[in-house]
Every structure is written in structure tokens, then in C-alpha cells.
Amino acid sequence: MQRTRWIGAGFLASALALTSCTSGPAGADAKQDPKAQLELWTRTTPGGPGEKATLRLVAGFEKATGHKVKVTAIFDDFETKLQQRAAQRNLPDIVMNDVTQIGAMHSQGLLREIDLSRIENSGDLIEQGRDSGKGVDGKQYGIPYSAQTGALLIRKDWREKLKLDTPKSWDDLAAMAEAFTTRDPDGNGKKDTYGLAAPLSTKRGYASWYFSNFLWAAGGDFITETGKGTYKPAMASKESTEAVRWFRALNCERKVVQPGAVTMDTPPTNETFEAGRTGLFVVGPYLMPRFDTSLGKDKYEVVPMPEGPKDATVLAEGGAVYLMAGSENRTGQDAFAGYAISADGQRLGMQGEEGSTVQLPVNKTVDVAEVRPDPRWKTYAEVYRTSGRYAPSVPNWTPIRQASAETLNALMADCSLDADVELRELDEKLARILKEQGIAG
């Protein structure tokens, strides 16, 4: 028998229109049944490693709690299908999706507020991970279960051949990139290597996604908070402008970025590193298994990003458990969130050679080395804890990232453009976006 699940009145007009939403808190009128089977959607390829890893996690949860869960893996058109279910007032109980989706899902009225006091093990969450689950209003709407962050991959064999030390500053990084470009690190007698691998296309905002690892370390920002839940543009600030100028010089003056970077997203950029065309790459831990096979584990090393003008802040991302509005089993929802972040759930989530639900643990009592003794994973975990930063949970981060990517891409592609002018125009675009989202301050 199909269960009815009501969603809140906040569902955006831009989503599928709903006409008879409850006037109270989302799902407040749903009759509760703590024994009802939970329906879980995960954003991953059906039949793939991600779905298998989710099924392992769910099996552990069912064994530990007695709750029953039906898992559905969806990758293509995930958000559209979720909106269709919302229009039918029949949302799944739980969604496992990117943490960056919190703003959109909250503003659409799809999520219920989470009381952390009812989530077992929530006190063990790493602080920035816990806070990534908060909405623009400061309330909790997601529970992170997995994290990832960027570290610097270096062609170790190139570095040792050229007798270079591991970079400790941006100056060191630029010098190494230049050496990898000009000093024939692979010894083939050809000028066919470059220092930095960088995906700088506008597709899905890759240019700004990658650049955030440099922007934040310089003390710059895309937008800055002016009050509780309000923001102003910040790309024309002194710190942001200086970060853009430094990064742009890598391409326009030093010419150490791989050719065609402005048209590349991550797949072709990954190939430049594993094919021996680039020697430095800021990227997450998820590519290590691939590079170990294609390049060789002994050929590269993983180190923290060198200090920028301010610090070594890097982009943090990950997955979150979302407890959907209108569930008939809020007790089961809370129990699953608590298990996913428990020490047992985190260790189980990290297991599996083909795929896992957890990249880096978000539970501060869990040592990644307990499951993955490879010291490179330890490096990533330490970088996440000390330097990882999430994008803000605004109603819709995508247009902010996309607008920034288009400007950065243009500045990298056309070295004659005036950076000050372009960044001021970008701030004007960001101001309009913030106003449209109702968070301009």
C-alpha cells in the first residue's frame, strides 16, 4: 500500500508546483509507525560499486537496529525524479546525496529539521562536517557521512630527478611547476611536460571549483557573510584579486598549466597526470586507486597543499544523509543517521576495494588507518580536519559557482583582459544572484 508523505509549503515555484501542502512544519501531520520500512535513495549508478557499498552499510544498519530499508540507486536525473516524488507527496524517507544539495533541497521544502540531540553519535562529528549540514538559517538539515578534500599530488620521480624539495609555499609551488615545465623531468629530451594540471572549463563550474583551493588560502572568497544568512560579493576584494592574479600568471606568464586547460573538465585533466604530461595536481583521494594502477604508486606522492598568503585552506566536499519531510518513521530516520556516523558505520562505509560510501571519516573518534593503512589516506584525513572548508549552504550555490567559473575561465583564456574590470563585473553578477535568492546583505 502506497504511503502518503506531505512536504512543506516552502517548495519553490521553480520546482514542480504543489497546491495542497500542509500549513505547518513539513511532515508534521504524518502518522508515525516506527516499524515501517524505510525507503532510501542514493545518488549513484545502479548496480555499480556505490550501490553495493550502500547495500553493505544498510545491511549493517538493519542488523544493528532491526529497522528495514529498501535501497534505490539513481544517477541520471536524480533531482528531477525526486521532485516528481515530491509532487506526488510520496518522498523517500532518506536521501544520500552531495552536501552541496542542502540549500536547494531545504529551500524546496523537502527536508525536515534535524534535532542533533536525537541523533546518536552526533557529538562525535568533526565540527566543519557537522556545520556543513546547516542551512542558511543556521538550522540542521543534513548529517554528513563522508568527506573528501584536496591535497597536492606530485610526480615524486620528477621531483627527485630535479633534486627539488616538497613545496612549503606558493613560491615553492610555482618554482616546482616551472621546473617541471622547462627542465625535462621525464628525461625524454622533449619539451612535452607541464607543471600544473588544472580543470578550468566552465562545464559545471569546474574553473571556480578548482580555484577555490587557491582563493581561500589567499584569504579571498566568492561571497562573504554580512550577517546571519546574508552575504555580499567578494571577488573584487584585494585578497581575491591578488589570488586571481597569482593563479592567472601560472598560465599567462609562467606558462606552466597544461595546454587546453580552459576547455578541460576533470576526465581529460586526470589523463594528463597519469600520462606523464603534468606533474602537480590538486585533487581528492578518490583518484588514488586509478593512478596507482595507471601510473604506479611509486611514481607520485601525496602532500598537504603549501601555505598560501593566509593559510592552507582547501575545498572540502562529501555526502550527507538527508531526512526527508513527511516520513512515517522519523525514529527510523534518526536511527539511520546515527548509525551512518557511528564508529561502526564509518568503518563499514570505508570498506570495499571496488567502492565505498565513506571516503574520509567524519567521526572524530575514527582513525582512517584502522581500515586503510596506506599513509596517504592519513594525509588526506589530516588535511580535512585542519584545512578543509565547505562551500556555504546558500539556497543555490550552482549559479554562484558557474558565474565565477565563467569569469575565471575568460581570464585564463584571454591574457589581455583587465582582471580588475572582469572581477568587478563578476561581483555585480553575484550581487544579482544573492538578491534573487533573498540572501543579499
Measured CA distances, 16 to 19, 89, 178 (Å): 10, 11, 52
Q: What CATH fold (topology level) applies to the domain 38-149+316-389?
A: D-Maltodextrin-Binding Protein; domain 2 (3.40.190)
Secondary structure element (H or E) that encloses residue 9, with its range: none
Asked if the model's pLDDT at residue 26 lies above 70, the reply is no
Confidence of residue 354 (pLDDT cuts 50, 70, 90): low
DSSP string, 105-119: HHHTT-B----GGGS
For cell 556543513, name the residue: 132
**Which tops the pLDDT comparison, 29 or 88?**
88
Asked if the model's pLDDT at residue 436 lies above 60, the reply is yes
**pLDDT tens per residue across span 233-259:** 999 999 999 999 999 999 999 999 999
Average pLDDT of the chain is 93
Confidence of residue 367 (pLDDT cuts 50, 70, 90): very high
CB 323 within 8 A of CB 111: yes
Segments making up each domain of the chain, as ranges: 38-149+316-389, 152-195+268-303, 201-256+396-441
Q: Can you tell me the mean pLDDT for 211-222? A: 98
Asked if the model's pLDDT at residue 7 lies above 60, the reply is no
Asked if the model's pLDDT at residue 12 lies above 80, the reply is no
Q: Which residues share a beta bridge with 283?
A: 151
**Which tops the pLDDT comparison, 29 or 6?**
29
What is the pLDDT, as a whole number, of residue 355? 80
What is the pLDDT, as a whole number, of residue 10? 39
**pLDDT tens per residue across span 293-338:** 999 999 999 999 999 999 999 999 999 999 999 999 999 999 999 9
Which residues, including other chains, have CB under 8 Å from residue 293's CB and lie 6 or more apart?
Answer: none
* 268 SS3 class: helix
Distance CA 401, CA 91 (A): 28
Distance CA 125, CA 143 (A): 9
- Amino acid (one-letter) located at 365: T
**pLDDT tens per residue across span 115-174:** 999 999 999 999 999 999 999 999 999 999 999 999 999 999 999 999 999 999 999 999
Asked whether the domain spanning 201-256+396-441 has the same topology as the one spanning 38-149+316-389, the reply is yes
Asked if the model's pLDDT at residue 2 lies above 70, the reply is no
Asked if the model's pLDDT at residue 16 lies above 60, the reply is no
Classify the C-alpha dihedral 67-70-74-78 as positive or negative. Answer: negative
Distance CA 360, CA 215 (A): 23
pTM of structure: 0.92
CB 256 within 8 A of CB 178: yes
CB 141 within 8 A of CB 105: yes
What is the pLDDT, as a whole number, of residue 257? 98
CB 106 within 8 A of CB 89: no
Q: Which three cell numbers stand for residue 355?
A: 567502492
Confidence of residue 19 (pLDDT cuts 50, 70, 90): very low
Asked if the model's pLDDT at residue 110 lies above 70, the reply is yes
**pLDDT tens per residue across span 42-91:** 999 999 999 999 999 999 999 999 999 999 999 999 999 999 999 999 99
* 361 SS3 class: coil
What is the pLDDT, as a whole number, of residue 353? 65
What is the pLDDT, as a whole number, of residue 352? 80
Asked if the model's pLDDT at residue 1 lies above 90, the reply is no
Q: What CATH fold (topology level) applies to the domain 201-256+396-441?
A: D-Maltodextrin-Binding Protein; domain 2 (3.40.190)
CB 387 within 8 A of CB 149: yes
Q: Which three cell numbers stand for residue 51?
A: 550501490
